[in-house]
Structure formats: C-alpha cells, structure tokens
Structure 1
Amino acid sequence: MMRILYVLVFLNSLLFAQTIPAFPADQHSYLGGEVNFYKDFQKILLEKQLKPCTNKKEHVKAGIVVKTDDTAELYSGENAPSTDSKCAEALTAEVLKSMPGWVAAKIDGKNTVALTHYFIYPDAFFDNFETGYTPDNYFKMPVFPGGIQAFRKEVDNRADGSDFYVKGDGKVTLTVIFIVNEEGVMENAMLENSSGLEQYDEMILYSVKSIKKKWMPATIHGVATKYRFRMPISYTNQR
C-alpha cells in the first residue's frame, strides 16, 4: 500500500478498529492495486457523465468498507458530511457502487468486512487524468525548518546521554513515531520500538515532544494532509 494510504489507515484505524477491522496491509482491496482502482474510478466517472466540482481543490480522504461479497461503500461512521467536501463525497459515493474490482479482506482465512482508505481528488479525473495515476505522484513529504538533520539536532540538544553507557562499540536504537498535522504541528509522539533502556527512551521521547517548531505539512495535489513520521534514533558511547 502506498505511503499516503498507510498513513491514513494508521490514523483512522486507531479510531474505528473496534467496530470494523482495518484492511490487512499485505492485501489489495482492489483487483490490480491502486493504479487500477484510479483507472476504473475515472472510467466510471466519465461513463456516468458526472460533473467536476466547482472547487478544484475539493477532496475527500474516503474511508471505504469492503464487504464479504466483494462490494464496497463509503463508511458512514467516518465520512461525516462536510460543506468543504460535499461534492467530492457525493461523487465518490456514486462511483464506488459501480466499481467492479473490489476484493474482500481475508482475515484468519475468511472473507471479512474491512475498512480501507483512498484519497480522492476529483479534479484529477477529468481533463487532467494521467495514465498510471495515483495520488502518490503528487505527494510531498513534510519538511522541518532546516531539514531532517536539523530536527535530529534539536532532539540531540535536548537529550543528555552522559548518564548512559553502552558496552564496547555497541549501540542502542529506539524508534519514535509522530504525526505532523495539516497545520504543521507535531502531535501524538510515541515509541514504536524501545532501546531497552527505559530512562533513555523516556528522555528521547520527552525531547521529541518538547520541540514546538512548526513543520511545512505534507501535501497531496497541494492540499495539506496529515503524515505519520517514523524516526529511528541511535545512541553509542561515541555520540
């Protein structure tokens, strides 16, 4: 699954996993994968003679329920009506019900209702449609002022490793994950993997959380979007 959708699944499955399981990351929810999904989406949109949205920047991060009978629909529990995306949501709902390639999730060997996500930017499907299109082609990573090494330096400046010792030439590594939201604010920082040194983990996590500088947010088609950042951080005696 492309990096954008992985992020969306991560963010939304935290909220909705208790009701509908997330679509397994190692399975395709649509026959032929993402490229074929967007190809069919555009084909059906034109066949139905649907009209472009007045607002060319309108988009929807569509939560989609794929059913056990290989059909799908917008997830009503997640796609609350919004005046900012009303056209995109209506267009998406109309196209989804005619798409032929849905593939039910298999969980524990059984077809299972599951939740997947696709980013729909309607303007991309009319005069501007490109062969092989996916939103990933128009994705830009979030940027910290001065770059990622400047961010690492900010973490390093806030952390004092002098009280920690690693035997020999070894090193310890932890992984921090956090969200950069649409405003460029970092949030929900947490540990994904521990270094094995609890106090060191706590120090690094506190250092990350204390950084208040804003990022330039990730964008898709120029539209700001949330992004899940994953950052390994290592410590050695020579650090």
Structure 2
Amino acid sequence: MEQPRILIVDDEADLRNLLKAALKKEGFTDIQTAGSVAEGLRVFEQFSPTIALLDVMLPDGEGYDLCKKIRETSHIPVLFLSAKSDEVDKILGLAIGGDDYITKPFSPKEVAFRVKAQLRRLGYTQSAPIVESTSTICGPFEMNADETEIKKNAALLELTAKEVGLMACFMRNPNRILSKELLFERVWGEDFFGADNTLMVHIRRLREKVEQDPSKPVFITTVKGLGYKFII
C-alpha cells in the first residue's frame, strides 16, 4: 500500500512544523502544509491527501469552510484543530463533516496518534515505514525501538500486547496525566464508550508486573476524575 499523504492547514508556522516533525517521527513522510483556506484548497486539489488536519481559525476564513469544499469531492478523514473547546463547537465541526476535533493546546504526539487511529480505519495499519530510532528510557524502565519489549532494571517484563501498548503510552508521556479515553483509543484503536472496566482490569494487571506493591503504586498512579499518570 502506498504511503498516506497528509495535509496540515494552520496559520501558525511553528505549529505546522511541530506537527510535521511528530508525524515524521511516526514514519509518515509525505506531508504538505498550508497557512490559509485558499492555500489549503489549492494544495488539496494538487496533492490529493489521504487525511487532512485543519485549523478552525484561519486568516481568510474557517477550517469549516475548507472542510465543506473538501467534502464536495472527497470523503478523506478530516481532523479539526481548534482553540475553541465548547461542546457546541465540537458538535459543529463533526456535523460539518469532521472525523475528529482536537482542542489546543495539545501534544503534537497526541495528534500524530489520532492520525494513525484514523488511518488504521482506512487499512493503513502497516503503511508507515520503519524509522530507525533508539530505545526509550524512563527511570528503571527501558523500551526497545520497536516498542515490543519493555525491561525494568534490565530484566525483561512478561507483558501482553495490550500491556506493552499501555506502557508505551506512559513512557512516551512521563509525568503527564493521560485520560482513560486517550489511553483506550491509542491502545485499542477504538472509542472508549463503555470500556472503563476493560481498561481498569488491564491497568491492575500491569501494576502487578511493574510495581513493587500493586496496592500502593508509585509508577502508574490514578488521578481521580482525570485518568492516569506515569511518575518517573
């Protein structure tokens, strides 16, 4: 399958570059950017992207306007990037034809994983090429470059695929609160609705393997009402 083509439309050059770098780190190399509705439409018509990231507030209009133009000829996934966090704005973005709505400020890495989630639904699970990288080290934990094996104090942990996925999310985002919704979407590739017990069971089993005392976790901690934090 060919490499997916990604279009980023945002009037902030620094943010475009950050998103581009985060996507390249995940193996996506065919990326085009634009800073306005007019430029975005022109690049869209010439580039024929597989997926588009659209800022809502642009200097010559709104990302909603660009999405409407895209929807006249294409059904590619569209992810809105916006500083507007009101529920009505999110509903409007999805009603217009958006597939996801990400509020600023956000982590470029989170956006990259939401892009990957959308591409998985299109069958691009294995489309991104392998990118040479080094292992990730967080305190006593080390994750190999392929993110398939995790060690604690140099000893290999016997983890299931889902547990490795959870640890990978935590190790990429140490000392940061990760919502249950975000963890489930990244590891399971599905919406979180109704999956609270599934996630809790996997977190409990993971703690049994990485914590000295699972009943008093020091690494994978619960932030009541918000999610989990991997403390290093």
- So what's the TM-score if we normalise by structure 1? 0.24
TM-score scaled by structure 2? 0.24
- Of Structure 1 and Structure 2, the greater helix share is in 2
Larger Rg belongs to: 1
Which structure has more relative contact order (CA 8 Å, sep 6+)? It is 1
